[in-house]
């Protein structure tokens, strides 16, 4: 079956005002539009256009979740769990009676969370993974020229904790802690950064939204990433990251598990952050699209297993898609005809379809911009 589906953008405070409706050509909400979920996750399941039923009624639980993400302001610094951590954490919080929709809940489901973000806007900014210690120290030397009370002691304290590339994340955790020396260091470094906004534009932007948050200083330890339109980034479990600005198509395993570390008014569980965090320096995992013989470009995250957890295809003209299972298609420009083994449908800008596995290969004709998750 090819079934038209839809959903309502989630109005998280960091969303861009009318950003998702502006991309899709749908009626604007007049408020922040942060994420549009297209999947069966119970946090915000897509619904059938025909009768409003949840997509899960006809699709069952899908293993992936497709989103349109619009960052009008920075998202929190966060990590996601692997399969073992998610199962254990979910069981622990459930046994403790923590409400699944409560603000202090970390593990809302028992599933690991791997994700991929593909830039749809001309520019998408993010931070992902820890920088090499040498790069951090070079920035600290530049920052040392600023005038701020206690700065020399703060720089010395942080430098002493950076250690090697294998453990740089421990310094990040220290900056986010309540240790008196860490609090003093963060205060001094925050003042120094405020005096040098042109030299540290990422931190200046974060400080506009979270002026008192230690995450502004801790972000010095993270890789800055700029994606141009059509470029993608993968985020593995345990990787510290935060999205700063822009609109993208996000594809992830069907999980809403988030362990936050800073830059947010929401619940922060420092102990769980420390348990999940990959502390070694690592370059961001940029994903190069692969042009498919049948048409379109495929973006596939790295995988330690035999099969990647999902893939995202970008289609701009005629193509033949072989999902090998269920798929969700979203059109953001132009229009396409979609034909499967048993049905066909027209997909215009702003429209989305669920394609069941029994449709087999999908013949897609038209022109524009279509994304297929599977």
- Among candidates 123, 124, 121, which has minimal Cα distance to 333? 121
Q: For the chain, give the percent of residues with pLDDT over 70.
A: 99
Q: Which of 236, 261, 286 represents a domain boundary (last residue)?
A: 286
What SS3 class is residue 123? strand
Report the pLDDT averaged over residues 81-105: 95
Q: Report the alpha-carbon distance of residue 17 to residue 11 in Å, rounded.
A: 9
**pLDDT score for 289:** 96
pLDDT classification of 226: cutoffs 50, 70, 90: very high
Is 196 labeled as catalytic in the residue annotation? no
For residue 277, what are the domain limits? 8-127+225-286
Task: Reply yes or no on whether the pLDDT at 308 is more than 90.
Answer: no
Task: Reply yes or no on whether the pLDDT at 366 is more than 80.
Answer: yes
> How far is the CA of 26 from the CAs of 20, 44, 66, in angstroms?
8, 18, 18
pLDDT classification of 307: cutoffs 50, 70, 90: confident
> How far is the CA of 142 from the CAs of 96, 127, 305, in angstroms?
48, 20, 42
**pLDDT score for 144:** 82
For residue 280, being part of any structural domain is answered with yes
Q: Which of 260, 286, 312 represents a domain boundary (last residue)?
A: 286
Q: Report the alpha-carbon distance of residue 292 to residue 311 in Å, rounded.
A: 12
Instruction: Give the phi and the psi of residue 217 in degrees, each rounded to 5.
Output: -70, -45
| One domain for residues 116 and 242 | yes
212: burial class by Cβ within 10 Å (0-12, 13-18, 19+)? Answer: exposed
The total of other beta-carbon atoms located within 10 Å of residue 195's CB is 14
Q: Are 210 and 33 in contact (CB under 8 A)?
A: no
- Name the average pLDDT for the chain: 96
**pLDDT score for 151:** 93
**pLDDT score for 55:** 98
What SS3 class is residue 363? strand
* Sequential DSSP letters for 84-101: HHHHHHHHHHHHTT--TT
Q: For the chain, give the percent of residues with pLDDT over 90.
A: 94
Task: Reply yes or no on whether the pLDDT at 304 is more than 80.
Answer: no
| One domain for residues 66 and 78 | yes
**pLDDT score for 305:** 67
Residues 6+ apart with CB under 8 A from 138: none
Task: Reply yes or no on whether the pLDDT at 149 is more than 90.
Answer: no
The active-site residue, picked from 105, 108, 190, 260, is 260
Report the pLDDT averaged over residues 145-167: 91
| One domain for residues 241 and 100 | yes
| One domain for residues 310 and 242 | no
For residue 212, being part of any structural domain is answered with no
| One domain for residues 150 and 199 | yes
For residue 213, being part of any structural domain is answered with no
Domains in the chain: how many in total?
3
Q: Are 250 and 113 in contact (CB under 8 A)?
A: no
Structure tokens at 151: 């700065």
Structure tokens at 193: 């950064």
The total of other beta-carbon atoms located within 10 Å of residue 148's CB is 20
Residues 6+ apart with CB under 8 A from 83: 111, 112
For residue 220, being part of any structural domain is answered with no
Q: Are 343 and 2 in contact (CB under 8 A)?
A: yes
Task: Reply yes or no on whether the pLDDT at 251 is more than 70.
Answer: yes
270-275 LR contacts (CB < 8 Å, sep 24+): 270/173, 270/176, 270/177, 272/89, 272/106, 273/79, 273/173, 273/176, 274/173, 275/85
Q: Which of 269, 286, 303 represents a domain boundary (last residue)?
A: 286
| One domain for residues 68 and 178 | no
Report the sign of the C-alpha dihedral through residues 349, 122, 284, 274, in that order. Answer: negative
* Sequential DSSP letters for 227-265: EETT-EEEE-TT--EEEEEEEEEEEEES----EEEESSS
């Amino acid at each position: 079956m090819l079934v038209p589906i839809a959903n309502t953008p989630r109005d998280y405070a960091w969303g861009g005002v009318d950003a998702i409706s502006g991309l899709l050509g749908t009626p604007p909400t007049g408020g922040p539009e942060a994420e549009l979920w297209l999947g069966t996750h119970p946090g915000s399941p897509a619904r059938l256009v025909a009768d409003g039923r949840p997509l899960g009624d006809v699709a069952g639980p899908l293993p992936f979740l497709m989103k349109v993400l619009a960052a009008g302001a920075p998202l929190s610094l966060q990590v996601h769990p692997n399969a073992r951590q998610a199962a254990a954490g979910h069981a622990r919080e459930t046994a403790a009676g923590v409400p699944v929709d409560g603000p202090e809940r970390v593990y809302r489901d028992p599933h690991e969370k791997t994700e991929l973000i593909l830039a749809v806007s001309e520019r998408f900014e993010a931070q992902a993974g820890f920088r090499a210690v040498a790069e951090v120290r070079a920035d600290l030397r530049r920052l040392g020229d600023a005038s701020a009370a206690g700065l020399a002691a703060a720089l010395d304290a942080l430098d002493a904790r950076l250690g090697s590339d294998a453990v740089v994340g421990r310094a990040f955790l220290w900056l986010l802690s309540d240790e008196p020396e860490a609090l003093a260091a963060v205060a001094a470094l925050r003042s120094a950064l405020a005096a040098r906004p042109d030299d540290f534009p990422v931190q200046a932007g974060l400080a506009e939204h979270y002026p008192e948050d230690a995450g502004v200083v801790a972000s010095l330890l993270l890789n800055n990433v700029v994606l141009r339109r059509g470029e993608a980034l993968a985020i593995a479990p345990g990787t510290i990251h935060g999205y700063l600005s822009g609109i993208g198509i996000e594809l992830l395993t069907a999980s809403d598990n988030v362990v936050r570390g800073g830059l947010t008014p929401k619940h922060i569980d420092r102990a769980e952050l420390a348990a999940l965090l990959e502390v070694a320096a690592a370059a961001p995992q940029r994903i190069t699209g692969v042009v498919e013989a049948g048409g379109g470009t495929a973006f596939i995250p790295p995988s330690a297993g035999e099969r990647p957890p999902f893939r995202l295809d970008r289609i701009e003209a005629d193509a033949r898609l072989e999902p090998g299972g269920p798929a969700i298609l979203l059109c953001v420009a132009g229009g396409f005809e979609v034909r499967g083994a048993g049905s066909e449908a027209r997909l215009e800008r702003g429209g989305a379809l669920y394609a069941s596995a029994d449709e087999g290969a999908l013949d897609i004709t038209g022109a524009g911009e279509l994304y297929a998750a599977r």
